């Protein structure tokens, strides 16, 4: 293999591809990144049995060929290259990387032992990257960190015609985002469950100027693929039944309050300063005021009152402040509508653009109140 390539493009491609390589792979061969030069392009790929990553960039290929080398080491080298052009060449046992006056030599790993990457499923549809990134950010708020319950570490993705709905829950809260997209088949109706941490990782690495293509085979639903700006990732689907969460949303909410989101977030963060770990903050809705408080009588206490626009009876609820802050921070609109039924049933949070407009249903955050002492 003999290749001439842009140093910055190489560093970017290697960094993106090697992000799927585990720090301590179960099989040492999976520490490698595979390079293949042919037809004016350098193909890069990495795999850990659960996630695969493939990328290709333009290159001047004098001699086609392949090389398998330690991925993380190659990433460290390429991001520090001194010149605009880098030259790659292989012998039977080494890969030489030359850039400016710097030269590195890496030992080749046995390419024949590297596993075949999974076949990318058929294209299901596409959406603009900023919409996808926002939906993933909102839905993944409630992804559980309990690895012993894999289903709760995932985001359920429902594809229903021109609508996509992403849902996650950790049993204490539920986050749901929805968006419109362009499906290959307008009659599509299918559901999949993918690890939330992977979904976040994919969203973080997207080129937001390009669309995201989602790949999924409804007949053999084992992989979900993501394509964007020449980069292709696949992820194994989580095997399991996602909880029946739709029934948690109330048909009607007799108590509703509209609040300036930044004012509410600021008040929560200040009051939460005195809350012990895992202790709730109390929210008392009376008339057109909301009073937030935390702390115990014989310890530090905080109290703050803000103006709200309220309909319905007075009510007092209490929440984990971290869950409140995370859910509210995912709302993109300037106002939040809190919708309540009783002090112990889940409360729904939605964003809205104006103080007197309807709420948006594109993001729905459901939070179970905590019990508290008067």
Q: pLDDT digits over 167-206, tens only?
A: 999 999 999 999 999 999 999 999 999 999 999 999 998 9
What pLDDT is recorded for position 374? 57
Domain positions in the chain: 2-113, 123-246, 250-367
Residues of the chain with pLDDT under 50: none
Cα 326 from Cα 343, distance rounded (Å): 21
5-32 pLDDT, tens digit per residue, is: 999 999 999 999 999 999 999 899 999 9
What is 123-246's CATH topology?
DNA Polymerase III; Chain A, domain 2 (3.10.150)
What pLDDT is recorded for position 212? 97
In CATH terms, the superfamily for domain 250-367 is DNA Polymerase III, subunit A, domain 2 (3.10.150.10)
Dihedral of the alpha carbons of 320, 325, 327, 331, in degrees to the nearest 10: 160
**3-state DSSP call for residue 361?**
coil
Interacting residues of 251 by C-beta distance below 8 A, sequence separation 6+: none
What pLDDT is recorded for position 373? 67
What pLDDT is recorded for position 106? 98
Q: Do domains 2-113 and 250-367 have the same CATH topology?
A: yes
Dihedral of the alpha carbons of 61, 65, 68, 69, in degrees to the nearest 10: -40
Interacting residues of 100 by C-beta distance below 8 A, sequence separation 6+: 81, 82, 83
For the domain with range 2-113, which CATH number is right: 3.10.20.90, 3.40.190.290, 2.40.37.20, 3.10.150.10? 3.10.150.10
Q: Please give the order of strands across the beta sheet that includes 2-6.
A: 60-63, 2-6, 85-90, 94-99, 102-107
């Amino acid at each position: 293999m003999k290749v001439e390539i842009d140093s910055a493009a190489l560093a970017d491609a290697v960094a993106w591809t090697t992000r799927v390589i585990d720090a301590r792979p179960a099989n040492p061969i999976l520490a490698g990144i595979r390079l293949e030069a042919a037809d004016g392009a350098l193909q890069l790929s990495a795999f850990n049995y659960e996630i695969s990553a493939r990328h290709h960039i333009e290159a001047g290929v004098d001699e086609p060929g392949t090389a398998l080398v330690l991925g993380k080491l190659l990433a460290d080298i390429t991001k520090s290259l001194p010149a605009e052009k880098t030259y790659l060449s292989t012998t039977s046992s080494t890969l030489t990387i030359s850039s400016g006056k710097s030269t590195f030599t890496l030992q080749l790993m046995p390419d024949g032992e590297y596993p075949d990457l999974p076949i990318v499923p058929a294209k299901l549809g596409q959406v603009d990257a900023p919409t996808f990134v926002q939906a993933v950010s909102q839905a993944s708020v409630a992804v559980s960190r309990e690895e012993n319950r894999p289903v709760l570490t995932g985001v359920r993705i429902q594809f229903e015609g021109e609508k996509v709905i992403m849902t996650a829950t950790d049993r204490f809260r539920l986050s749901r985002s929805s968006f419109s997209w362009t499906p290959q088949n307008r009659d599509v109706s299918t559901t999949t469950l993918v690890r939330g941490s992977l979904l976040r990782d994919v969203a973080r690495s997207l080129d937001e100027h390009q669309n995201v293509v989602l790949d999924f085979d409804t007949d053999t639903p084992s992989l979900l693929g993501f394509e964007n700006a020449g980069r292709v990732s696949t992820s194994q689907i989580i095997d399991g039944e996602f909880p029946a969460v739709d029934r948690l949303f109330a048909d009607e909410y007799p108590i509703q309050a509209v609040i300036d989101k930044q004012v509410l977030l600021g008040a929560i963060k200040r009051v939460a300063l005195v809350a012990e770990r895992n202790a709730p903050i109390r929210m008392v809705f009376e008339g057109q005021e909301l009073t937030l408080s935390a702390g115990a009588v014989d310890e530090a206490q905080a109290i703050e009152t803000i103006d709200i626009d309220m309909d319905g009876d007075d009510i007092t609820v209490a929440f984990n402040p971290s869950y409140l802050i995370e859910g509210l921070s995912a709302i993109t609109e300037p106002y939040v509508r809190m919708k309540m039924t009783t002090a112990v049933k889940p409360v729904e949070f939605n964003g809205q653009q104006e103080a007197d407009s309807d709420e948006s249903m594109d993001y729905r955050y459901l939070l179970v109140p905590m019990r508290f002492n008067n």
